[in-house]
A = this chain, B = another copy of it.
Amino acid sequence: MHFVAALDRVDEMRCVLGLFEGVTTGAADGYARMAGKPACTLLHLGPGLANGLANLHNAHRAMVPIINLVGQHATYHLRHDAPLTSDIEGIARPYSNWVRTCCAASEAGNDASDAVTASRMTPGRIATLIVPANVAWSEGGTVTPVTMARKPPVLSGGVIDEASLALRSGLRTGILLSGNALHGPGIAAAGRIAASTNAKLFAPYPFARMERGAGRPGVERIAYILEQATEQLKEFRQLILVGCSAPISYFAAPGKRSGPVASDCKVFTLTTPYEDSVAALDALSDALSIRGTRPLEEPLVRPAVPTGAVSLSGIAAAIGALLPEHAIVIDESMTSGRELMPATKGAPPHDWLANTGGSIGIAMPLAVGAAIARPQQRVLCLSADGSGMYTLQALWTMAREGLRVTTVIFANRAYGVLKREFSYLGVGNPGPKASALFDIGRPDLDWVSLAKGMGVPASRIHSLDDFVKALRVGFEAEGPILVEVDL
Chain A interface residues (CB < 8 Å from chain B): 1-2, 4-5, 7-9, 13, 15, 17, 19-20, 22, 46-48, 50-51, 53-54, 57-58, 61, 73-74, 76-77, 80-84, 86-87, 90-91, 93-95, 133-134, 137, 206, 245, 248-252, 254, 258-259, 356-359, 361, 386, 389-390, 392-393, 396, 399-400, 418, 421-422, 425, 427-428, 430-434, 436-437, 440, 442-450, 452-455
Closest 4 CB pairs of A and B: A8-B431, A443-B455, A47-B359, A450-B453
Judge whether A443 and B399 touch: CB under 8 Å. yes
A4 touches which of B19, B76, B437, B448 (Cβ 8 Å): B437
Judge whether B73 and A251 touch: CB under 8 Å. yes
* Smallest CB gap from A13: residue in B: B433
Q: List residues of chain B with CB within 8 A of the CB of A433.
A: 4, 7-8, 13, 15
Nearest CB of chain B from residue A453's CB, rounded to whole Å = 4
Instruction: Tell whether A57 pairs with B53 under 8 Å between CB atoms, given A15-B437, A19-B389, A440-B19.
Output: no
Nearest CB of chain B from residue A403's CB, rounded to whole Å = 13
Please list 18 pairs of residues, one from A and one from B, whose beta carbons are closer than 8 Å in the complex, sorted by A's number. Answer: A5-B428, A8-B431, A15-B436, A17-B436, A17-B440, A19-B389, A46-B94, A50-B53, A51-B51, A53-B91, A77-B252, A82-B250, A83-B356, A84-B358, A389-B396, A392-B393, A446-B452, A449-B449
Q: List residues of chain B with CB within 8 A of the CB of A19.
A: 386, 389-390, 440
In the assembled complex, the Cα of A477 lies from the Cα of B81 at a distance in Å of: 42
Nearest CB of chain B from residue A54's CB, rounded to whole Å = 4
Nearest CB of chain B from residue A471's CB, rounded to whole Å = 22
Q: List residues of chain B with CB within 8 A of the CB of A361.
A: 20, 51
Judge whether B137 and A425 touch: CB under 8 Å. yes
Nearest CB of chain B from residue A402's CB, rounded to whole Å = 10
Judge whether A50 and B50 touch: CB under 8 Å. yes
Judge whether B57 and A54 touch: CB under 8 Å. no
A454 touches which of B20, B445, B455 (Cβ 8 Å): B445
Judge whether A248 and B90 touch: CB under 8 Å. no
Q: List residues of chain B with CB within 8 A of the CB of A436.
A: 15, 17
* Smallest CB gap from A76: residue in B: B252
In the assembled complex, the Cα of A40 lies from the Cα of B82 at a distance in Å of: 27
In the assembled complex, the Cα of A388 lies from the Cα of B73 at a distance in Å of: 24
* Smallest CB gap from A77: residue in B: B252
In the assembled complex, the Cα of A434 lies from the Cα of B4 at a distance in Å of: 6
Given contacts A8-B431, A50-B359, A134-B252, 8 further A-B contacts (CB under 8 A): A5-B434, A8-B430, A53-B91, A76-B258, A82-B249, A87-B94, A445-B455, A453-B453
In the assembled complex, the Cα of A81 lies from the Cα of B249 at a distance in Å of: 10
Judge whether B454 and A452 touch: CB under 8 Å. no
Nearest CB of chain B from residue A483's CB, rounded to whole Å = 15
In the assembled complex, the Cα of A448 lies from the Cα of B203 at a distance in Å of: 44
